[in-house]
A = this chain, B = another copy of it.
Amino acid sequence: MARFYSKVSHKTGMVPGTLLHIGRRLLDQARISVFNYKEVDYSEKQDVPVESCRPGQDSSTVNWINVDGLHDAEIIGKLGESFNIHPLILEDILNTSQRPKYEDFDSYIFMVFKMLTYEEEKKEISSEQVSLILGQNFVITFQERMGDVFNGIRERIRLGTGRIRRMGADYLAYTLIDAVLDNYFVILEKIGERVEEIEEKLVTYPSPATLQEIHKLKQEMIYLRKSVWPLRELISGLERGESPLIMKSTSIFIRDIYDHTVQVIDTVETFRDMISGMLDIYLSSVSNRMNEIMKVLTIFAAIFIPLTFFAGVYGMNFHVLPELNWKWAYPAWWVLVLGIAGFMIYHFKKKKWM
C-alpha cells in the first residue's frame, strides 16, 4: 500500500530546497563511477570522489557520471554545486516518491522516472527512482541501488558497438531511457501471463481466491498506470522541447521511445479493460453458482416435501381411516408417491433444471 503514496509528513514544515533523502536506504554507501568517451577513446573510473567529477571543457568527450545510492545528501549536494544544479532539483533527486517529470533549464535537462521490477514471490511490481541530468557534454544518473540495467550500455561503450561512441551526450541519455523502458515490456509480459492464468481459472473453477487475485492484479495496473502516464508527458516534452541540447539526429530516436511508451500505455489500458471484464465474469459465475445451488435445493424440496406429506397422511391415527384397511393400499401408495416424484422430475427436466 505504501507504494501508492509518499510518506512525507516528517518533512512538513522544512525550508524548501532542504536536501533530505526520502525513501528506503538500499545501499550502504553511495558510489560514484565515471565514464569519459569519444569516438576513438574511452576511460572508466570507479568510486570517484565527488570533487573530481567535474568534466573538462572538451566538448567532444561525453562524460557519464553515475551515482548509486541516494541516502548521502551531502554527496548529492556537492555534486549539484559543482555542476551548478538548482537546489530544488537536488531535492527532487533525493525524494524517491517523485512523480516522473521533465524540466528544461537552459543549460541542462532534468528527468526523473521509475525503474520497475516484478517481484515474483510477492506478485507485485516494485519501483526504484532513476534521475537523469543531461548537460552539454555530460549525463549524470542517480539510482537508488546498484543495478545491472545499465551494464549493457557500459559494455557497448567499452567495446564501441553500435553508434554510441560516435554520438553525443543526448544519445547516451536516450540509450539510458531506452534501457529502462525495455524493462517495462518485461513487466507487461509477466502481467500478461498472470492475466492468462486467471482467465483459465475463471473458466475452470472460479473461487474467492480468484477474486483476490483479480483484485491484486487490478491494483498492480493502478500502480503501473501511475508510473507510465507521466512518462509519456515526460518523453513528449523531450520530443517537443526545442532544447539545443538535443541534436536533430537524436530526435528520431526519441520519437522511437515515445512510440514505445504509447505502446506500453496501450497495453496497460488493454489489460485494465480485460481485468474489468474478468471481474464481471467472476461476479456472474458466482450468481450462476448460486442458481445451481438453489436448483438442487428446490428439486429436493419439491420432490420430497409432498412425499413426506403423503407418508404423514397414512401415519395419522384416526379411528376411521378407510384406506388403511385396503389390501393393496401400501403398493398403491408407492405407485402414487413414485408417480408424483416422476412427474416432478419430468417437469424439472423439461425446465432444464436437471
Contact = CB atoms under 8 A, between A and B. Distances in A.
How many interface residues does chain A have, given as a range? 35 or more
Contacts of A285: 208, 211
A203 interface: yes
Contact of A185 (B6, B179, B307): B6
Contacts of A322: 330
B273 A222 contact: yes
Interface stretch (A43-51, A126-134, A238-246, A289-297): A289-297
A183 B13 CA distance: 9
Contact of A304 (B212, B253, B282, B305): B305
Interface in A10-66: 11-18
Contacts of A280: 215, 279
Interface stretch (A68-76, A136-144, A255-263): A255-263
A319 B178 CA distance: 90
A287 B282 CA distance: 11
Contacts of A289: 291
Report copies per complex.
5
A101 interface: yes
Interface on chain A toward B: helix, strand, loop, or mixed SS? helix
Given A13-B152, A182-B12, A203 B212 contact: yes
A306 interface: yes
A206 to B, nearest CB: 10
A290 B286 CA distance: 10
A162 B18 CA distance: 9
Nearest to A190: B9
A324 interface: yes
Contacts of A321: 317, 330
20 contacts: A1-B192, A4-B267, A4-B270, A4-B271, A5-B185, A13-B152, A16-B175, A88-B256, A101-B259, A203-B212, A205-B352, A222-B277, A230-B266, A283-B283, A291-B293, A300-B302, A314-B316, A314-B318, A318-B324, A318-B333
**What are the nearest 6 A-B pairs in CB distance?**
A311-B312, A15-B162, A314-B316, A297-B298, A13-B152, A315-B315
Given A208-B288, A283-B287, A284-B286, 19 more contacts: A5-B270, A5-B271, A6-B185, A14-B152, A15-B164, A16-B174, A16-B253, A98-B263, A103-B255, A203-B212, A211-B285, A226-B266, A226-B270, A293-B298, A294-B298, A297-B302, A304-B305, A315-B316, A318-B324
